[in-house]
A and B are shown apart, each in its own frame.
Chain A
Amino acid sequence: MSVLVYTENWDGKFKKLSFELVSYATGVAKMLNTTVTAVSIGKVDENELIRLGNYGANKIINVNSDKLTVLDSQVYASLLSEIVRKENASVIIISNNNTGKSIAPRLSVRLKAGVGSGVSRLPLNLNPFTVYKRTYSGNAFAHLVIKSDIKILTLAQNSFDLIETPSNATIENMNPEIDGSLLKTVIKDIRKQSGTILLTDADIVVSGGRGMKSADNWGPLVELAKLLGAATACSRPVSDEGWRPHEEHTGQTGKIIAPNLYIAVGISGATQHLAGISSSKYIVAINSDKNAPIFEVAQYGIIGDAMKVLPKLVEAVKEIKK
């Protein structure tokens, strides 16, 4: 019996979420009195792999194959289910991001394992195995009992703190035979954003709403984000108007994020928007309407016109960065 965690990498480095996943898996393993096996698929060198040990991984399975550079959920799930069986894993931890969402359900069918998706705390109970998960887009949380022998948990991003638990991890290299004819997903084109901070990975997010008034007013907001090392985001009306690209839309039907700090500029805070950001640790709201619902979820607020407050805030940040 062990806890298995599927990590993700980007350009040869682990994404921050991978360390969160391993920290979480280590917590679950402690409850179950067992060990953590981390799986990495893709090209990651040994110095980077060993970093998973800092967060408690006891064993790292490094799967390296030229055929696995494209996410094909069918092939990835088949490979992972083999590893789960070989490692005799009883709990599998995966991110609740787009990649995780494409792998977890397939793995579930292969292993007849119930899925607790979007968990944000350690299991509440082991018998029956009960997890705490987000429902109703953050308006309620559920205690979900998973009845199957093998359990799959997908962890909400940025919901679990990194916990350093150094362990002497061993690395096991695996070069699986991949039947090329099974790979059905053909990539025609990749459009990567370059040089920007991933919105779903960002510690700080600066986000603008209708209060920004037009597509031409985003200069100070983007500058503020740059100074803070933050990603930029927006509310739905902004992306619908085409002021900002729809990839930046945070909210119920857009991206769901949980940064340490979310700065909402000129966003009133409709239920649908709050559904995408309410798990943020701290929320700052800047809005001219003192009755805007965003102030109900914010810890810090400034009542004022975004166009006037933003430049002052930018200057103040420049001052402290000196």
Chain B
Amino acid sequence: MKILVCISNVPDTTTKIKFAEGNTSVDTTGIQWVINPWDELSLTRALELKDDTTTGVKSVTVIHVGPAASEPTIRKALAIGADDAIRVNAVSSDAWFVASQIAEVIKKEQFDVIMCGIESSDYNGSIVGGMISEFLGIPSVSAVSGIKFENGQPIIIREIDGGKEVVSVPVPFVAIVQKGIAKEPRIAAMRGIMMARSKPVKLVEPVQVDPLTQIVEFEKPTPRAACKFIDADSPALLLDLLQNEAKVI
């Protein structure tokens, strides 16, 4: 059983976002780049499955679509414990482009489980995982918060509105992963960091694909009005404002 984890390179989640070039791009000065949080949790769960010898998981590979500049993020994934990595050498332009590239790689190299985070914390698209599965014509399960194997069969927990479902699908399949899949992201140990240097990163040139979407401008969220403070001993006043000013209760 081979697992592929798709990783995206995103600004650290505490970053204050600023724009550049007339609000057409994000100013990357001083940004700390990290593995997208959901991808990091996916990688952690993939490694846990490999550690458990009863699952039959033999290897965990990470794939990233990005330029050489995102190499440190790939090395971090290797330091956390991935066996090897694939980098598609292209600047990602949209979900369609990224999913097309990853699907091309999977067609050539077989994987049994493909894991993607439910969204990237930068574009908040929630599209790539589903597109990959449709390009490959294989099943996908969305909003996955648990995954294990019983007798070689994947048993998956997916979140639905108002509950959970335990489902099974045949391999190969795409798991689109959300919170709950692993408790805490695994942290790279010194030994892992040393080993990551010699782990293979396979470079793949992109296939020709025209993106379907393009961001032409960014804007900041509309600022909110200043907070009105109410005395802690007069909660009735708060309720009055909620009833008569905001009209929400």
Indicate which residue in B13, B140, B215 contacts A102 across the interface (CB closer than 8 Å): B140
- Cβ of A201 within 8 Å of any chain B Cβ, yes or no, is yes
Inter-chain CA distance A190–B232, complex, in Å, is: 43
Q: How far is the CB of A156 from chain B (nearest CB, A)?
A: 10
Q: Chain A interface (Cβ within 8 Å of chain B)?
A: 10, 15, 71-74, 77, 96-99, 101-106, 108-110, 112-118, 130, 133-148, 154, 184-193, 196, 198, 200-201, 203-204, 228, 246-247, 249, 252-254, 260-261, 271-272, 275, 278, 281-285, 295-304, 308-309, 312-313, 315-317, 319-320
Checking A106, A117, A303 against B124 with a beta-carbon cut-off of 8 angstroms, the contacting residue is A117
Q: In the complex, how many angstroms separate the beta carbon of B154 from the nearest chain A beta carbon? A: 11
Q: Once the chains bind, are A185 and B246 in contact (CB under 8 Å)? A: no
Do A143 and B127 touch (CB < 8 A)?
no
From B135, B166, B170, name the one whose CB has the most chain A CB atoms within 10 angstroms. Answer: B166
In the complex, are the beta carbons of A185 and B139 less than 8 A apart?
A: yes
Q: Which of B122, B179, B224, B239 has the most CB of A within 10 A?
A: B179
Name 12 A/B residue pairs within 8 A (Cβ), A-sorted.
A115-B125, A130-B216, A141-B219, A188-B155, A204-B248, A261-B242, A282-B242, A299-B225, A299-B227, A300-B230, A312-B232, A313-B238
A295 contacts B123, CB within 8 Å?
no
In the bound assembly, the distance between CA atoms of A135 and B215 in angstroms comes to 10
A to B contact number (C-beta, < 8 Å): 272
Measured in the bound complex, the distance between the Cα atoms of B168 and A297 in whole Å is: 42
Contact of A186 among B13, B140, B142, B168 (CB under 8 A): B168
Scoring B residues 3 to 45 as 1 if CB is less than 8 Å from chain A, else 0, what string do you get? 0000000010110110100000010000000000110000000
* Also in contact, A109 and B131, with CB within 8 A (given A101-B176, A204-B249): yes
> Which of the segments B72-80, B105-113, B156-164, B186-194 contacts the partner chain?
B156-164
Contacts of B212 in A (CB 8 A): 108, 112-115, 146-148
Using a CB-CB cutoff of 8 Å, which residues 143-178 of chain B contact chain A?
143, 145, 155, 158-170, 173, 176, 178
Distance, CA A104 to CA B228, complexed state (A):
41
Q: Of A73, A135, A247, which contacts B130 at CB under 8 A?
A: A73
Q: Is A297 in contact with B224, judged by CB distance below 8 angstroms?
A: yes
- CB neighbors of A among B80-137 (8 A): 94-96, 99, 118, 121-131, 133-135
What residues on A are CB-neighbors of B118 within 8 Å? 101
A201 to B, closest residue via Cβ: B161
Q: B203 interface residue, CB < 8 Å from A?
A: no
With A184-B170, A204-B249 given, name 9 new contacts (CB 8 A).
A102-B140, A102-B176, A103-B130, A105-B130, A139-B17, A252-B121, A283-B224, A300-B229, A302-B231
Interface of B is mostly: mixed
Contact of B122 among A73, A136, A185, A200 (CB under 8 A): A136
The answer to whether the Cβ of B57 comes within 8 Å of any Cβ in the partner chain is no
| Contact status B139-A184, CB under 8 Å | yes
Given contacts A102-B176, A185-B139, A261-B248, contact A285 B227 (CB under 8 A): yes
> CB-CB < 8 A to A98: which residues of B?
142-143, 158-161
Q: How far is the CA of A130 from the CA of B214 in the complex (A)?
A: 9
B236's nearest neighbour on chain A, judged by CB, is A316
The yes or no answer to B47 lying at the interface (CB within 8 A) is no
A139: chain B residues at CB < 8 Å are 16-17, 220-221
Q: Is the CB of B230 within 8 A of A140?
A: no
Q: How far is the CA of A115 from the CA of B119 in the complex (A)?
A: 14
B134 touches A101 (CB 8 A): no
Q: Take A102-B142, A144-B215, A301-B229 as given contacts and tell me if A190 and B163 are in contact as well, using a CB distance cutoff of 8 Å.
A: yes
A195 to B249, CA, bound (A): 21
Task: Name B118's closest neighbour in chain A (CB-CB).
Answer: A101
The answer for the CA separation of A113 and B95 in the assembled complex, in Å, is 12
Given A73-B142, A98-B159, A141-B219, the answer on whether A302 and B232 have CB atoms closer than 8 Å is: yes
| Interface pair B95/A115, CB less than 8 Å apart | yes
- Whether A137 lies near B121 (C-beta < 8 A) is yes
Complex-state Cα separation, A211 to B17, whole angstroms? 28
Q: A196–B243 Cα gap in the complex (Å)?
A: 24
On whether A115 and B213 interact (CB within 8 A), knowing A108-B131, A143-B219, A185-B169, the answer reads: yes
Q: Known: A140-B218, A228-B249, A299-B227. Is A135-B236 also a contact (CB below 8 A)?
A: no
